[in-house]
Amino acid sequence: MSRKVYVALPVLNESANLPGLIESFNKQDMKDFDLVVCVNNYDYWWDEPGKVAQCADNQKSLKYLLSTDKLSVHVIDRCSPGRGWPDKRGGVGWARKMAMDEIIKEAEDSDIIVSIDADTYYPENYLSAIQNYFSNYSGSYGLSLPYFHKLIDEDTNRLILRYEIYMRYYLLNMLQINNPYAFTALGSAMAFPVWAYKKVGGLKPVKSGEDFYFLQKLIKNGNIGLWAETIAYPSSRFSDRVLFGTGPALIKGDRGDWESYPIYNYRNFALIEKTFEKFPHLFVKDYSTPMDRFLKLQNQDDNLWGALRQNYKDPENFVKACIRKVDGLRILQFLRSEQQKNSETNEISLIHYMDEMGSYKTKMQSSFQNISFETSSIKQLDDLRIMLFKEEMRIRKARR
């Protein structure tokens, strides 16, 4: 079956990055793809002294994209005066959604949507590796691709390494308990077939986290893959255009605020695992789970599973309903609530985790027992990142 690839790109204040991005896609070893770009800003920004420079930069991007002859590019103008977002609707979520909704107007259900960002480097095999994945796994609802942040300078490197270690630590723990919500949400590194996009009702255009919520929707309907023979290389830059993600994490981290990105006590992931293991048994009657108290508070309901038993009369669909109920967002909220009880430092939690995992023990004894996010060398932190990256890639590939 022929699967054409469509690439969806939101653009805001990216004129400096676009030539490099276009060149990287001009070098792709797969040529049959279209690029759909939504250049966007709020309309009222044209009257805001602090924002008008971004509007002017968007005009440069618009001019560049409309004049390039290197690729097949469809440009959506949501940035020119009178065309920008209204006050109460807009942002990267809307821009990403608008590009994707434009794609599905002409794409076949079997075609593929690839979500990218302008500040990310994509190797020459990026699109062909994605196309190959969906050729081999045609029933997959999506693909959360491997990534590796680019290092820039000494100060920024320490911040991005701290953030990426947090991300990899979280995913590794979720993979090791075989949780269905084991994924990394990066709008710059995800892909999915058009039929899956339609089936889940498209992307929800929230101001931040649209990638997280969309991948979570896909998982609630089916399986997503975690491996393709390629890697996206996102930028490590400060940005306040969204509420969370790499840019805001660097800004907060630069202030010494890592509260939103802790190294969770690895034992709390075992509590999640034990809860999910109870789901088949809950079809028969209530059993206590490690997450009961938290879930009852979140749902304001002591009867957590009774309504599901009423609505789902067979075990398989009941378990699926339980998984939808205790989703990726609930898991993160649970981990944060449990983290308040953790008196360990982030470094100690990380060391205890790696001491427990047999595959890390030898390296831990020789290299990382005295790791410090503040004082360890950039090389030592990068070595730690690479070690976690390799372990993550091994598990991703095995799970696919």
Three-state DSSP state, 375 = coil
In this structure, the answer to whether residues 84 and 127 fall within a common structural domain is yes
Q: 339, 369, 390: which is the final residue of a domain?
A: 339
Beta bridge partners of 353: none
Interhelix angle 52-67/18-26, nearest 10 degrees: 30
Residue 192, pLDDT score: 98
CATH number of the domain that 219 lies in? 3.90.550.10
Please write the tens of the pLDDT for every residue from 299-358.
888 889 999 999 999 999 999 999 999 999 999 999 999 999 888 999 999 988 888 876
Residue 191, pLDDT score: 98
Residue 88, pLDDT score: 85
Q: How far apart are CA 330 and CA 201, in angstroms?
A: 21
In a domain, 175, yes or no: no
**Residue 86, Cβ neighbours under 10 Å: how many?**
9
State both tokens at 38.
């939504």
Q: What is the largest CA-CA distance in the chain?
A: 65
In this structure, the answer to whether residues 80 and 20 fall within a common structural domain is yes
In this structure, the answer to whether residues 244 and 313 fall within a common structural domain is no
In this structure, the answer to whether residues 15 and 118 fall within a common structural domain is yes
Number of domains in the chain: 2
In a domain, 199, yes or no: yes
In a domain, 384, yes or no: no
In a domain, 334, yes or no: yes
Residue 326, pLDDT score: 97
Question: What is the rounded (10 degree) CA torsion for 187, 191, 197, 203?
Answer: 0
In a domain, 79, yes or no: yes
In this structure, the answer to whether residues 131 and 28 fall within a common structural domain is yes
In this structure, the answer to whether residues 88 and 230 fall within a common structural domain is yes
Neighbouring C-alpha atoms within 13 Å toward the C-beta of 303: 5
Question: Contact, 21 vs 70, CB < 8 A?
Answer: no
Handedness of CA 47, 51, 56, 61 (dihedral sign): negative
Q: How far apart are CA 120 and CA 18, in angstroms?
A: 10
Question: Contact, 197 vs 104, CB < 8 A?
Answer: yes
Q: 231, 254, 277: which is the final residue of a domain?
A: 254
In this structure, the answer to whether residues 222 and 292 fall within a common structural domain is no
Three-state DSSP state, 36 = strand
Q: How far apart are CA 258 and CA 348, in angstroms?
A: 15
At 328, give phi and psi (nearest 5°): -60, -40
Rg (CA), the chain: 22
In a domain, 176, yes or no: no
DSSP string, 145-191: --B-PPP-SHHHHHHHHHHHHHHHHHHHHHHHTT-TT-----TTSEE
Read off the amino acid at residue 171. Answer: L
Beta bridge partners of 5: 33, 112
In this structure, the answer to whether residues 248 and 279 fall within a common structural domain is no
In a domain, 98, yes or no: yes
> Could you list the residue range(s) of the whole structural domain that residue 20 is in?
5-147+184-254
pLDDT-flagged residues of the chain (< 70): 1-2, 236-248, 250, 254, 257, 358-366
Residue 238, pLDDT score: 46
In this structure, the answer to whether residues 130 and 271 fall within a common structural domain is no
Q: How far apart are CA 141 and CA 215, in angstroms?
A: 9
Please write the tens of the pLDDT for every residue from 77-107.
999 999 999 988 999 999 999 999 999 999 9
Q: Looking at the chain, which runs of residues are DSSP E strands?
A: 5-11, 33-40, 73-78, 112-115, 142-144, 190-193, 224-225
In this structure, the answer to whether residues 205 and 319 fall within a common structural domain is no
DSSP string, 216-255: HHHHHHS-EE---S--BB-------SSSSSHHHHHHHHHT
In this structure, the answer to whether residues 93 and 134 fall within a common structural domain is yes
CB proximity list for 40: less than 8 A, separation 6 or greater: 10, 11, 12, 58, 78, 79, 84, 85, 90, 91, 92, 94, 95, 98
State both tokens at 24.
């990287």
pTM: 0.93
Q: Which helix (H) or strand (E) holds 323?
A: helix 315-325
In this structure, the answer to whether residues 281 and 327 fall within a common structural domain is yes
Residue 209, pLDDT score: 85
